[in-house]
């Protein structure tokens, strides 16, 4: 809480610090002139000395930012596309499935077929949009959650039908559960001769994922990313789960969301892919993410097409940041550029203090004696 030094308190009352120290002693506290005393104690001392205390708390800009966040009213909310993350064990076909869904082919161009970036894309099925976020392993998922970001609405758990439940499958289940995100199981590679979907289902019952046909409530879809089999059904199921989840947002407010990935591009400067989660992000908006800030200079959708605005659940590439914001960082837009810069100054200060704390040499008693 708030504190004040004995000296400062005495100065405010235009009295001698000795009188404050004396009063504190009467109250059972031994204090020196530079000692910090808490607001309650200061109030008692001042009252005893015949002063009234008016504690003014100077809110930091960060708190002001949070307090400026408006509460959405039900009437302002519209249905937004679900945000889906594909998770699963190495090589079970996460990238292939995502590619098959958006009819592209990233896997072939990736070195060794391993996902090396986070991408975010949108597809349309029966007139309804679905946003897919591709995470490399679970690192990004964890980093985002550590920062308090909740990006994913629905997790697709991919399991290869010829391999079954593996360590990272279990990890993915735990991540999704910790984030309270519904899981849809996609049993992949059913085209393979040694595919055994029944075995996968049996193994998953041990993790409390039980298919509806066995009396449970988990949706299972058997797919082949390679042969593009049952992908429509998978999308159908995503939309079904989304309908139950009723994901909504207010498009008519200052945009807020999460940085999905970011890098320094030689020609374009810092480039960040962000997911708008509420409000509408527009070209010209003043945006902050961590200690990165700037005016949105240009925005591109996942196909590279320039857009002037992006509403809830839309992933866009943003140009105009002062530096590369870290993946998983929350972004905000503020109307008042000066206020935005004050927040950044405050964050820089905090960052520096933390760095100083980390680099300050720690001297123990033993070190002193061993010199
Ligand atoms: P990491 O990103 O490395 O964790 O792998 P991933 O889960 O993204 O798997 P990826 O999509 O790279 O697929 C791994 C291998 O499985 C590749 O050789 C794919 O061609 C193959 N594969 C993926 N889906 C299918 C499928 O439905 N059937 C068959 N037969 N092979 C598939
Ligand atoms: Mg991959």
pLDDT tens figures, 215-270: 999 999 999 999 999 999 999 999 999 999 999 999 999 999 999 889 999 999 99
304 vs 317: CA distance, rounded Å: 8
Taking the CA of residue 98 as reference, the ligand 1 atom at the shortest distance is 11
* Residue 190 is labelled as binding a ligand: yes
The whole-number average pLDDT for the span 193-210 is 97
Taking the CA of residue 99 as reference, the ligand 1 atom at the shortest distance is 11
* Residue 188 is labelled as binding a ligand: yes
- Residues near ion ligand 2 (CB < 5 Å) are 94-95, 115
Ligand 2 centroid from CA 159, angstroms? 13
237 vs 155: CA distance, rounded Å: 12
Asked if 199 and 164 count as a contact pair (C-beta separation under 8 A), the reply is yes
Q: What is the per-residue pLDDT for 140?
A: 56
Could you tell me the two tokens for 288?
Answer: 């902050």
Ligand 2 centroid from CA 49, angstroms? 71
Query: Would you say residue 166 has pLDDT above 50?
Result: yes
| pLDDT, tens only, 84-108 | 999 999 999 998 998 899 864 443 4
Is ipTM > 0.90 here? Answer: yes
Please tell me the pTM assigned to this model. Answer: 0.79
The best mutation among 87, 108, 110, 113 to test binding of ligand 1, ranked by most ligand atoms within 8 Å of the C-beta, falls on 113
- To the nearest 10 degrees (0 to 180), the angle between helices 94-101 and 231-245 is 90
* Residue 125 is labelled as binding a ligand: no
Read off φ and ψ for residue 90, nearest 5 degrees. Answer: -55, 135
| pLDDT, tens only, 3-27 | 899 999 999 999 999 999 999 999 9
Q: What is the per-residue pLDDT for 137?
A: 47
Ligand 1 centroid from CA 91, angstroms? 5
- Residues in the chain, total: 371
Taking the CA of residue 227 as reference, the ligand 1 atom at the shortest distance is 27
* Residue 165 is labelled as binding a ligand: no
Which protein residues touch ligand 1 with a CB less than 6 Å away?
Answer: 88, 90-96, 107, 113-115, 188-189, 191-192, 224-226
| pLDDT, tens only, 310-325 | 999 999 999 999 999 9
């Amino acid at each position: 809480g708030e504190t004040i030094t004995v000296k400062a308190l005495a100065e405010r009352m235009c009295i001698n610090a000795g009188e404050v120290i004396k009063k504190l002693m009467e109250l059972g506290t031994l204090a020196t002139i530079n000692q910090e005393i808490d607001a309650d104690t200061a109030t008692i001392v001042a009252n005893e000395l015949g002063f009234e205390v008016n504690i003014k708390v100077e809110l930091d800009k960060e708190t002001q930012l949070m307090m400026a966040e408006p509460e959405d009213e039900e009437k302002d909310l519209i249905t937004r596309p679900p945000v889906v993350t594909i998770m699963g064990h190495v090589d079970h076909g996460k990238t292939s499935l995502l590619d098959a869904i958006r009819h592209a082919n990233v896997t072939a161009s990736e070195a060794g077929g391993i996902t090396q970036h986070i991408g975010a894309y949108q597809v349309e099925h029966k007139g309804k949009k679905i946003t897919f976020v591709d995470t490399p392993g679970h690192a990004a998922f964890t980093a985002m959650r550590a920062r308090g970001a909740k990006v994913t609405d629905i997790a697709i758990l991919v399991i290869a039908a010829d391999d079954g439940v593996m360590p990272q499958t279990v990890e993915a289940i735990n991540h999704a559960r910790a984030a309270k995100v519904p899981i849809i199981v996609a049993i992949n590679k059913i085209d393979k001769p040694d595919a055994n979907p029944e075995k996968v289902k049996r193994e998953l019952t041990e993790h409390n994922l039980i298919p509806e046909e066995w009396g449970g409530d988990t949706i299972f879809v058997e797919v082949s990313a390679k042969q593009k089999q049952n992908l429509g059904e998978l999308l159908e199921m995503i939309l079904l789960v989304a309908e139950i989840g009723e994901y909504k947002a207010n498009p008519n407010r200052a945009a807020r969301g999460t940085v999905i990935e970011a890098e320094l591009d030689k020609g374009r400067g810092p480039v960040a892919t962000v997911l708008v989660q509420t409000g509408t992000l527009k070209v010209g908006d003043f945006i902050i993410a961590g200690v990165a800030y700037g005016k949105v200079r240009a925005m591109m959708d996942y196909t590279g097409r320039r857009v002037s605005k992006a509403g809830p659940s839309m992933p866009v590439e943003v140009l105009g940041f002062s530096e590369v914001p870290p993946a998983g960082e929350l972004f905000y837009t503020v109307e008042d550029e000066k206020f935005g810069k004050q927040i950044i100054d405050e964050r820089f200060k905090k960052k520096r203090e933390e760095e100083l704390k980390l680099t300050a040499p720690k001297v123990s008693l033993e070190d002193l004696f061993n010199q």
